[in-house]
Amino acid sequence: MNDSKSPKTILLAEDDDLIRDVTASALEDAGYRVVAVPDGAVALEAMASFAPDLILSDVRMPNCDGFELLERIQTRPQLVDTPFIIVSAKADSADQRRGMSLGADDYVTKPYRTGDLLRTIELRLQRAERVRRLNDHQRYFLTRVLPHELRTPLTGVLGYADLLTMRGEMKDPLSSREHIEFGGYLRRSGERLLRVAEDFSLWASLVETENRRCEGQTIVRATIPLEIGVLAKWCDGPLCEAGRTQDFTLDAVSAPVSVLPQGLPWVVRHLVENACKFSAAGTSIRVSGRPVRDFYAITVIDEGRGMTEAEIAAVAPLRQFRREQFEQQGLGLGLVLARDYARACGGEFFLLGNSPAPGLSARLVLPLAEVAR
């Protein structure tokens, strides 16, 4: 049942008067606002004045059938993400395949039970709402966060470049202290910009890898020996930057893993960086590495604020949680990179609360190389 405060609007296109009236009444009883029309042509005219939250359309209709209506919808940018459910009296898989190939979200066969139809509608509306929220988050990050992450260090770089130019033009040499100050700021700004570039580069590479996998292409892997010294080196950078080396402990067993050639050091860095960022100085950050059957698990444990179950389930690209409440840098790609990297290697990524203790455990599970099995 539709429980939202503002009722969702469903456009119902059905040429059979009795079925149209009965279906419209059932939808209205369930709390939806219904605009009922006899064919696709009238549906298109009606949508000139409103945008429905979902379209429920019969296939066989005069003037403009359900398939043509669906094709016309796909040409309207404001409607392209609107859930579209095809209804047909034919239990014909060809109709279903054609509808899905045109972009339909679901298929219902007449005669249908009202309860089944309502459940289908509710599921599609819920999915559309999740997609809308994700798009809103990504739009916010692309228009607000990403420009900030680029503009802040670039402003400093340009400012110091102007200052150096001005001092040179005035023949005013820099002192040793100024050399260190200017150079340090330029390096920190450059490293911040490099992190943005590296994040997007790895993300694009993982998307390309997933596309190749879906097309049945072979994914090239490399054998990387995981030793305590290697893991310590990967963890050292973010720990030093955050001043957290005294909080850190590492316990690892050496073993080789079979993974994508690039990206693993960057993924581990992100997990340690998150542990530093979201826990207080003086609290423990622990990293462990252990073979588990045919896999190797790298676990990063902190004692910070953690994440709710809802936040863990909603991890997505360009998404940060409670950014407004907790001022933080970054793009929100770290957890996504870890998840997608693990899956591209044939492994998995888990986020686990430490309840009842505070904090979060991030576990990267990667396949062991054959020699280690």
Each residue's pLDDT tens digit, 146-173:
777 788 889 989 999 999 999 999 999 9
DSSP 368: B
Q: List pLDDT tens digits, range 253-295.
A: 999 999 999 999 999 999 999 999 889 999 999 999 999 989 9
Residue with tokens 């892997």: 221
What angle do the packed helices 264-277 and 228-242 form, to 10 degrees? 40
Interatomic CA distance for residues 326 and 320, integer angstroms: 10
> What pLDDT band is residue 93 in, cutting at 50, 70 and 90?
low
> Is 318 a residue whose pLDDT tops 50?
no
Higher pLDDT, 137 or 270: 270
Cα angle 295, 261, 222; round to 5? 55
258 burial class (0-12, 13-18, 19+ CB within 10 angstroms)? buried
Amino acid (1-letter code) at residue 263: G
pLDDT of residue 323: 41
CA distances from 106 to 74, 84, 202, 331 (A): 15, 7, 34, 34
CATH number of this structure's domain 222-372: 3.30.565.10
pLDDT of residue 177: 92
CB 232 within 8 A of CB 348: no
Spatial CA neighbour of 300 closest among 341, 254, 252: 252
CATH superfamily of the domain spanning 9-133: Response regulator (3.40.50.2300)
pLDDT of residue 322: 43
